[in-house]
Amino acid sequence: MEIFRVDDHIHAIDHDLLARPGVGVTYVVRGDDIALIETGTSLTVPATLAGLQELSILPEQVGHIICTHVHMDHAGGAGYLADALPRAQVHIHSMSIEHLVDPSRLIPSVRRAVGEAAWPLHGDILPIPAERLSPSENLHLDLGQDVVLEGWYTPGHSPDHVAYWDRKTGGLFAGDSTSLFMERYNLLLPITPVPTYNLAAHRNTFAMLRQADISRLYITHYGPHDNVADVLRIGEEKLDELVEIVNSALNRGDEDVPAINARWVPYAEDHPGYLIAQSWGEMSVAGMLRYEKKRRQQ
């Protein structure tokens, strides 16, 4: 577990997502009230709670747990955090509230998506009582001390994706709306997962973000980035590259997901980022294959 300061009122807790540093963070946003943005998986919750203790934040001081979307690396720990933080309300897009109340359909879907090699690193999901869940797509959360968080609907990666704009800094908690930007592992790519990825919506989200007044990107995977235009450009370039690779494979009648991913994300097995490149890369190839096959059938 590592903690680093992001802005005057924001810290990030690296909670060793997927048992590795530099993969995922929970952001701690402080005004008079305190919000956590992103939860990691259930397996990261002990590190997040230890990070709060190191920041001298008592459990009852946290009023909000905010998730960009329902995938387990972003919301899987929400139930356990809510259990440990008795005052916290959990915010997520309204279409996903039911999956945190009853995660029985979500868990097998995630297992199929991430693959058996990475699945043991995702833990489980503790159900959350419905009264502790609130829709986030129109969020306007005033934490005090001029710290206000606004929900921006940013679909594509998932249909329930919401990013959160910090009015005080102009920074955006982008979740997976743009791309991975994990420089420690030299992984700079968008994630396009099965089963609900939507390329058209993702392109619209990129276009919206290019036009928005964003000073920084607070990326879940990973960290703050001031070079907003470059991050968006690289994300779109890698997305275009994946679309081209997948369509070329489909034209050949090739649907071998590992082989296609090896061309898109060519990582050797001894590379420290190999498991992420394999799991999330193959998930993305499968998602793009599914999207492009459906598009061709229309």
- Intervals of the chain under pLDDT 70: none
Query: What was the pLDDT predicted at 114?
Result: 72
Q: Structure tokens of 35?
A: 């919000």
Question: Is CATH 3.60.15.10 what the domain over 2-234 is classified as, yes or no?
Answer: yes
Reported residue count of the chain is 298
Interhelix angle for 199-211 vs 228-251, to 10°?
160
- Please report the pLDDT score of residue 125 as a whole number: 93
- pLDDT score at 115: 73
| pLDDT, tens only, 97-120 | 999 999 888 778 777 777 787 788
Phi, psi angle pair for 202, to nearest 5°? -65, -40
**Gap between the terminal Cα atoms of the chain:** 48
